[in-house]
Structure 1
Amino acid sequence: MANTLPVNSDSGTEEDEEIEPKFKYKRIGSDLSNILNTDVVTCSAIHPKFLIFGTFRGRVYLLDHQGNSVESNLSNGDRHTHSVAVNHIDVDPKGEYVATCSDDGRVNITGLFSCESNQNLSFGKFIKAVALDPEVKSGVRRFIVGDDKLTLYERNLLKKLKPSELCSVEGNVLAICWQGNFVAWASHIGVRVYDLSEKCSLGLMKWEVPAQARLENFRCHLRWSNANTLLIGWVDTIRICVIRKRNSIEASSSNLPGFVVDPISTFQTTFYICGLAPLAASQLVVLGYRKDRSPNYKAQRPLLCVIEYKMNTSEEVCTDSLTLRGFEEYTVNDYSLGCIIEENRYYIVAPKDIVVASLIETDDRVEWLIEHNHKSIQSDIFFKILYTLYWPNSLFDLSSEFHM
């Protein structure tokens, strides 16, 4: 990790600037800095073991979490690179195989340290999305490719690939996210969920076309927060969906799938969405791109926002304005958000800058409180707070004195 990132509160008043922060930020440096000096990041995959970045020149890089290069099959020759920018990267749960795709029409399945299941497929058309089987097992037996249709590829006993068309598509597949038996994917008109076990679509969620723009000009951001909860962020709308089994009354109707997609919350944001991830119950971390421009018509700083949602409403818990390298020249599609949910770490990915946001821990809170004690709270309450942070089972009741 490199230097700490400058962060501005988005509130604007002197009093609000003293609000205790939610995140701390670090830039990733080391070998990544050398890569960014000569190339531009176009997509990424965040794994608990490593980071993978695809670039404008079609290269794919494997690095550790400090930004140091890791030797793998991706480093050897041009077989696992693309001739133009990499559009999408997916990694299997074990961190053994990587799938990449590009507008050069190729899909590469690469074993990082083994060549046993490698595949290099050429489709002769733009490929925007590819997904590996999320089931934890050795090798890659299944993967899904999206072009003008959604196609599942499976290995047979002779290790030959057998394609099966799952769905026809309105336009092209723009994004894919696979969890268990459910595959969420976006086309030019909305988002569908496909049930692999029943071999059927669970319906279409149409998306509102933005004013004076085309829906496909915005990246659709899909993420499974658990086995049956799908997060969708597209343009300036977020939708939380739960996949549930139909009840006995619903199941009595014939010719209906056994599962249904229930949108439990839909709401708009004040900014365009560049990525989203779960934080806690009913809370999301959202990377945002401001709709308005600066006085000199440049792009403004991106936002990292914690949003708490209910049925069809939301509230911004906190918002940080981030100073990323080159932000004034970026568009909404230049950013993405990766995460390691179990560690509450969020990766803000820009073409020339990668920053990690981590939740503030107890020691960080204590340090901040010490620095701001003379402005924010009385010393006797301050020491009670320290005591409560380190010994949460203490008998102090701070609710009447200080809201934490």
Structure 2
Amino acid sequence: MSGSGSGSVGSYYYSYSDGGVDDGVAGHGSYDDGSSHSASSSSVALEEPKLKYSRVGADLIRIVQKDAIVCLEAGPKFLAVGTSYGAVYLTDHLGNLIKEYHSHSMGVNAISIDGAGDYIGTCSDDGTAVVNSLFDEESYRYTFQRPMKAIALSPNFRDDKAFVVGGLDGVLVLRRKKKWSAFGKSKDTIIHQGDGAIYAISWRKSIIAWATPVGIKMYDRETEERITFIERPADAPRPDEFRCHLVWVNDATLLIGWANWVKVAVIRQSHVKYCEIIGSFRTDYFVGGIAPYKEAMLVVIAYTEEAAANESDSGEGATSSRRVVETVPRRPELRIISYENDPVSSDALETHGWQYTHCRNYSLAYLHDGVDEMLYVISPKDVVLAQPRGPDDHVHFLMEHSKFEEALAAAEATASQLQFYSVAQIGRTILDLLLERGEVRRAASMLPAILKDDRGAWREWILLFEAQGLLAELVEFVPTTAPQLEADLYDLIITHLLANDHAGLLTVVSKWPPSLYSMTSVILAVERAHASFAEDEDEGASPKVLMEVLAKLYTLSGQYDSAVQFCLDLNVGDVFQLIEEHKLFSAVLERIPQLVEADADKAVALLVKYKDEIPPDHVVSALRGPVLEESLLLYLHELMKKDPHIGSDYHEEQVVLYAKYKPELLLNFLRQSQYIPLERAFKVCKGSELHECMVFLLEKMGNTREALDLIIRKIGSVRKAVAFAQEQADEELWDDLISKSIEKSKVEPQFLGELLEHIGGHIKPAKLISRIPENLAIPRLRDRLVKIITDYNLQTSLRSGCARILRNDCVDLMERLVKNNRRGAHVAGAAECMTCRAMVNVSSRGARSTDDGVVVFFCGHVYHRACLAQSVVGGGGVAVCVVCRAQAASIKKCLLSSPCGKRYGLIKTRPGRPEPAEWTTAYESMAMAATTSLSMPHSSWPRRILK
């Protein structure tokens, strides 16, 4: 906030000292005592005030030096000031004197200005009421018998020459001139009388409001009727101790402030006009003035007092003293509140003579010229102008409290509304202040917002930062596009960073487009700097960052091979990202070991991802050897996950590597790979004592007995032994399990006991129990015998139940099959015999077939009986569909000759054993199912076989 005491209201300036706000008029915030309150306290910095303050000076200062202000009215063209000596002064809004009237012999009690601002009416304790024209010598003087306390001119005084006046006689008189001349007569109308003195009058449009000791009344001049009566609270202070303030917000809303109560009245109209109170509250202060403020808010002068203790002796030599307690005023506060008395802001005012000023000597004049709101705080020796803060004030406040970023943003947002500042001026001031304070980085960060695309300004500030040795702080904020600066500025920055900040140089070459600076010159300069660092061993300087800079520059200049070699040799930079971004696979082929040594995980991921560009054979050859064997395993492992067939040539070698480095992963690998030589893999596992892997390989080689023996002897797990025997479905293997368990129980008695717990559901208990030696001690034998018998009975019961369900299902399905087979088969009107390929004619419904001796299978194939008989003789005497039988035989042959036979369980015999006869039927069933599922040309199997 800023102001002037020499007639200039609202002058603005840059000032960031800790003192002086608006000539010392206002101190922000409420306070509890009469001590001085600095406007620059911490509370100011936390919250921006709502109003700005300045004293009205100029000639008004001279007036208050010799007289005291009693009342003031603000008009659109001037201020009318009434004094205690009866003078009326007209000044402009800055306090410069325009005209003065000496119309009264005693103090002026009230002033009223008409709606056009052409006439001014005043009244005084000398019983006179005077109306003066501002633009000519026209003047009217009226004398009453009692002191006049209030006057109000008609808003349309130029035409109707009417005004209302009232005083201690308690009569409210409406006076109009019948003929406005020096010799004309006036017409008086008594609007009200009998309630005591008239303390205040306010006239808006046709509504006249006035205050009496009993309350506020309103009169409508159009209807010549009284509208309402607003009663004073019964416990209110005496009406003559405090001034009543009546202020119109608009043509319908009246603000009332009197002593310690406030009301907001609204004139409404239905068929008649009536008044509604929309706001009413008591205050903990006395109202020294009231005025509207923005939407649904009001401003009041809050007057408060505090106790002051004065001690005086009752006499000389007295042994006791008595204390006289008085109250003294506090500084007045200008408070913004809502119609519900919710506080918005509060400012304590430093008016001249506030220590001696009572509440009745304050008043508040309000003026709204359509653009600005102006509030005049009037006291006997001072007039303070309060105005809502504008964009300039907001920017100034932010600048004053070092909120420079916010100040700049606010200035840019309201640039067209600024009157005293410019965005450029604010920006320059901010930068100067920050550099002066040593906040270099903050200043640098604000340069883009301040300078924008002004290339000349950028050059100026870059050179300024460089001259002060601060260029490193600016680098991050130098623009590379919009605007793009001259190349010499970028070269200047890079040269500075090369000499002073290698980390900053790396950031620059990583972010800046290479077209901004001379790439060749920069590379040569960095190479020279790197060479000098490498030679300066005594200094212990590390050229690592410069190495990264060189690698980046080589990449940007397209020297990819050099960049890759540089990164790998010095182990700097993200070489993997470089290779992948630029597809530098040819550069990788000869540097695979270096790549793996730099980062094995990233290297393997890269080699596997680009296996087509970097052949696995080449990678395996490069990684073979004791140093990189573990990385080779990692590569082969990831390659297997990517595609199990690509690295099949190395699966045997992979077994050795797993056994050496990752034995826990070997079993899963053995299960997944189809390319492992079983015998060699077994030797590797045996050498490493990987028993579970040995069991798997023995099973795969068909040596189930040896595998079972290994489980019992080495692994020692009954659960695994039982599970293994169950998987094989071999009765002889169960016998081996029992025999070997009994033999092991001679050393470990608990082994046979565990077998009793787990085998009950798989074999008959008697088979195991009968073979237990008589003198063999088995822990908890009784409980385990009970368990094995219980488990066996449970399995028997389950199987019996399943068998019953299966038989019932078979009967139901057989009945459904028989029912379906008894139905006739639909044949088209003309069909072809599948043997002789001759047409078979079938007559229409209800007629006999024209071709006697026709056989139709449920697969849809049709034969002549004679043709089918020939096929039956050749097929063993059973009438079957020749086409479908041939397809089944073909599928059977295909299944037996492919690895799928094992998967479907068609080949389960041990070497040397004959194939069971029932398996032939299984083959045919499988062929029949496969024929249907594979959707071959003739996909039906005969549902009925004719014999």
> What is the alpha-carbon distance in structure 1 between the residues aligned to residue 199 and residue 160 of structure 2?
23
Say whether 1:272 aligns with 2:289. no
Structure 2 letter corresponding to 1:328: Q
Residue 282 in structure 1 maps to residue 296 in structure 2: yes
Separation in structure 1 between the aligned mates of residue 186 and residue 134 of structure 2, nearest angstrom: 20
1:42 aligned to 2:70?
yes
Partner of 1:397: none
Q: Which moved more, 1:316-325 or 1:234-243?
A: 234-243
Q: Are 1:144 and 2:130 counterparts?
A: no
Map 1:159-198 to 2 at 5 A: 159-198=184-223
Partner of 1:260: 274
User: What is the one-letter code of the residue matched to 2:146?
Assistant: K
- Structure with the larger strand share: 1
User: Could you tell me whether the CA contact under 8 Å between 1:279 and 1:341 is conserved in 2?
Assistant: no
Corresponding residue of 2:344: 317
Residue pair 1:294, 1:300 contacting (<8 A) in 2 also: no
**Cα distance in structure 1, aligned partners of 2:415 and 2:235:** 49
Looking at structure 1, the residues matched to 405 and 387 of structure 2 have their Cα atoms a distance apart, in angstroms, of 29
Contact 2:301–2:364 (Cα < 8 Å) also in 1: yes
Rounded Cα–Cα distance in structure 2 between residues aligned with 1:54 and 1:391: 40
Larger mean CA deviation between 142-151 and 295-304 belongs to 295-304
Contact 1:209–1:215 (Cα < 8 Å) also in 2: no
How does 1:289-308 map onto structure 2 within 5 Å? 289-293=303-307, 297-308=327-338
Give the Å deviation of 1:348.
Answer: 0.6
Instruction: Name the residue aligned to 2:5.
Output: 2
**Counterpart secondary structure, 2:328:** coil
Cα separation, partners in 2 of 1:162 and 1:391, compared to 1, 3 Å: closer
Query: 1:181-207 deviations in whole A, cap 9, x for unaligned?
Result: 100100011001111111111121111
In 2, Cα distance between equivalents of 1:371 and 1:60: 40
**Structure 1 counterpart of 2:154, one-letter code:** D
CA distance in 2, matches of 1:391, 1:33: 35
Q: Is the 8 A contact 2:395 2:407 kept in 1?
A: no
Which among 107, 113, 120 is matched to residue 98 of structure 1?
Answer: 120
Residue 400 of structure 1 corresponds to which residue in structure 2? none
Equivalent position SS for 1:45: strand
Q: Could you state the TM-score of these two structures normalised by the residue count of structure 1?
A: 0.85
Instruction: Map 1:214-253; keep pairs closer than 5 Å.
Output: 214-246=238-270, 251=271
CA distance in 2, matches of 1:128, 1:349: 18
Distance 1:391 1:111 in 2: 40
CA 1:40 to 1:267, structure 2 compared with 1: closer, same or farther past 3 Å? same
Q: Which has the larger radius of gyration?
A: 2
1:270, CA displacement in angstroms?
A: 2.5
Contact 1:210 1:235 in 2 (8 A): no
- Write the letter of the residue equivalent to 1:175: A
Query: What residue in structure 1 maps to residue 497 of structure 2?
Result: none
Instruction: Give how far 1:172 is off.
Output: 1.1
Which amino acid is 2:172 matched to?
L
Structure 1 Cα separation of the partners of residues 155 and 329 of structure 2: 37
2:275 aligned counterpart, secondary structure: strand
**1:28 maps to what in 2?**
56
The letter for the 2-side match of 1:259 is: K
RMSD, aligned CA: 2.2
Q: List per-residue Cα deviations over 1:221-254 (Å, max 9, x = no partner).
A: 00111111111111121111110113xxxx5xxx
Q: TM-score, normalised by structure 2?
A: 0.37
Query: What is the CA distance between 1:386 and its match in structure 2?
Result: 4.1
Kindly state the Cα deviation for residue 35 of structure 1 after the two structures are TM-superposed. Answer: 1.1
Q: Deviations over 1:95-118 (max 9, x none)?
A: 2211111111111111123234x2
- Selected match of 2:129 from 100, 107, 122: 107
| Cα separation, 1, equivalents of 2:336 and 2:275 | 25
2:356 counterpart letter in structure 1:
E
Report if aligned partners of 1:97, 1:140 keep a CA contact under 8 Å in 2: no
The alpha carbon displacement at 1:391 in A equals 7.8
How far off its partner does 1:364 sit? 1.2
Aligned to 2:148: 127
CA distance in 1, matches of 2:64, 2:92: 16
SS of structure 1 residue aligned to 2:383: strand
Match of 1:200 in 2: 225
**Partner of residue 358, structure 1:** 387
Distance, in Å, in 2 between the alignment partners of 1:62 and 1:11 is 34
DSSP-derived class of the 2:65 partner: helix
- The aligned counterpart of 2:83 is 55
| d(CA) in 2 for partners of 1:366, 1:295 | 45
Whether the 8 Å CA contact 1:150–1:169 is kept in 2: the answer is: no
1:95 is paired with a residue whose SS is coil
Gaps of 5+ in 2: 7-21, 32-36, 311-326, 418-947
* 8 Å contact kept, 2:201–2:208: yes
Q: Give the aligned residue type for 1:125.
A: R
Name the SS for the 2:342 alignment partner.
Answer: strand
SS at structure 1 position matched to 2:397: helix
Contact preservation (8 Å) 2:30, 2:333: no
Equivalent position amino acid for 2:161 in 1: R
**Amino acid of the residue matched to residue 276 of structure 1?**
I
The 3-state SS of whatever aligns with 1:373 is: coil
Report the CA distance between 1:324 and its aligned residue: 0.6
How far off its partner does 1:298 sit?
2.5
Query: Unaligned 5+ residue runs, structure 1?
Result: 252-257, 393-404
| Contact 2:290/2:364, CA 8 A, preserved across alignment | yes
On the 8 A contact 1:169/1:187 being kept in 2, the answer is no
- Give the Cα separation in 2 of the matches to 1:37 and 1:210: 39
For residues 220 and 293 of structure 2, what CA distance do their matches in structure 1 show? 27
SS in structure 2 at match of 1:226 = coil
Which has the larger helix fraction? 2
Q: Note if contact 1:43-1:55 (Cα within 8 Å) is conserved in structure 2.
A: yes
Partner of 1:88: 110
Q: How many residues align?
A: 366
In the alignment, the residues of structure 2 paired with residue 26 and residue 280 of structure 1 have an alpha-carbon distance, to the nearest angstrom, of 20
State the SS of the aligned residue for 2:64: helix
Deviation at 1:157, TM superposition (A): 4.0
3-state SS in 2 of match to 1:37: helix
C-alpha contact (below 8 Å) 1:2/1:26 kept by paired residues: yes
- In structure 1, C-alpha distance between the alignment counterparts of 2:159 and 2:338, rounded to whole Å: 39
Matched residue of 1:176: which SS?
Answer: strand
Secondary structure (helix, strand or coil) at the match of 2:352 reads: coil
- The answer as to whether partners of 1:11 and 1:17 remain within 8 angstroms in 2 is no
Number of the residue aligned with 1:254: none
Contact kept in structure 2, 1:133 and 1:143, CA below 8 Å: yes
